[in-house]
Amino acid sequence: MRSEREKEITERAVLEIRGLQISFKQYEKGFRQTNLDVIRDLDVTVRPGEIVAIVGSSGSGKSLLAHAVLGILPYNASLGGEILYNGVVLTEKMLKKLRGEEIVLVPQSTAYLDPLMKTGPQIRKGKNDRKSREKLDRIFTEYELDLKVQELYPFELSGGMTRRIMNSTALMGNPKLVIADEPTPGLHISAAKRAMGHFRELADLGAGVLLITHDLELAIETADRIAVFYAGTTVEETDAKNFRSCETLGHPYSRALWRAMPQHGFEPIPGTQPYVKSMPKGCPFGPRCPYFTEKCTEKPEWKTSGTGRVRCVLSGRTGAETGSRCEIEWQQKER
């Protein structure tokens, strides 16, 4: 039975993902079939008018999450858990109607562009009326793209131009949910901030924005909330402002991300993210965690932590045992 808080979140959320699991069928040694559980337990909620940034290392499941929501996973993928859109389970029939209209993807790969179609007609989705043309002209001006670029094919574009063009697709319509998968790589910092500003404008107009990014600094500046992924699991979901200080973060991996930022010492942590076939029991971050205990071998449940929630058995402790220790150690290192 769901709690009153969970019911309230579902009613208010444009997108709610609960216990998402994704596995891939794979053949080994001839005809032997196995399942790779790539994503084990992802939870994310996006409400109208807010930007939720997904952060984490490569291979943590960020882009797969986007593909799952859009219904574009490979044929050998199996999906578990629930994906709700405006409180209703998102079905394949609904996706066919909503995809590209109410639900818009800003893709990571330039391969999503049709190489045989000029840029302008692609973004306008074939529309050639005056209103559509004028709107695209305004978008290109905002992104500092020459209007003549609309007559070019994708192979004639530079990497930065292609990235800005893909970002502009979200501005053509009036989406209720925008999924932006790594929208800033290859862009100059000023262009990247401008792109993030456009996503902020969409959110301010009432859309929910799910931002998948490796750029934690831009995420902190732009997003309302941040969800931290690690090895196919959501380990923390918190207000973006909590990433401005190490001691306000609840999970050791979140604090490790904070310490790895250039302005905080660029400090790495030992070890690597576990491969799907050698996943540890309980908390996936356990083998790399400096606070690891036997209790960490059990599956951690969600706990309230400040203005967010965290999957960690240490949640609720204070002082040198948790977040403050990170701040103290960093300050000592600086001295």
User: What is the reported pLDDT for 150?
Assistant: 95
- Paired sense of beta strands 77-85 and 15-28, if any: antiparallel
* For the chain, percent of residues with pLDDT exceeding 70: 90
**For residue 62, which of 211, 177, 256 has the smallest C-alpha distance?**
211
User: What is the reported pLDDT for 103?
Assistant: 95
User: What is the reported pLDDT for 159?
Assistant: 84
Q: Which of 105-114, 245-254, 292-301 has the lowest mean pLDDT?
A: 105-114
**Do residues 54 and 227 make contact, with C-beta atoms less than 8 angstroms apart?**
yes
C-beta atoms surrounding 94 within 10 Å: 16
The highest-confidence range among 98-102, 141-145, 160-164, 221-225, by mean pLDDT, is: 221-225
Q: Which of 2-11, 71-80, 131-140, 165-174 has the lowest mean pLDDT?
A: 2-11
Q: Which of 3-17, 164-178, 216-230 has the lowest mean pLDDT?
A: 3-17
**Position 330 pLDDT exceeds 80:** no
Tokens of 102: 């109410």
Cα 317 to Cα 30, 125, 311, 320, 329: the distances in Å are 51, 53, 13, 9, 17
**Do residues 67 and 99 make contact, with C-beta atoms less than 8 angstroms apart?**
no
Express each pLDDT in 46-67 by its tens digit: 999 999 999 998 888 899 999 9
Express each pLDDT in 107-147 by its tens digit: 887 788 899 999 999 999 888 999 999 999 999 998 889 99
**Position 325 pLDDT exceeds 60:** no
**Do residues 223 and 52 make contact, with C-beta atoms less than 8 angstroms apart?**
yes
Q: At what angle do helices 252-259 and 323-334 cross, to 10 degrees?
A: 20
User: What is the reported pLDDT for 110?
Assistant: 76
- 4 pLDDT tier (thresholds 50, 70, 90): low
Instruction: Kindly report whether the global pTM for this prediction surpasses the value 0.75.
Output: yes
- 333 pLDDT tier (thresholds 50, 70, 90): very low
User: What is the reported pLDDT for 148?
Assistant: 95
User: What is the reported pLDDT for 168?
Assistant: 87
Express each pLDDT in 168-208 by its tens digit: 888 888 899 999 999 998 888 998 998 899 999 999 999 99
DSSP letter for each residue of 299-332: PPPEEEETTEEEE-TTTT--GGGTHHHHHHHHHH
- Mean pLDDT taken over the chain: 87
What integer is the mean pLDDT of 145-172? Answer: 90
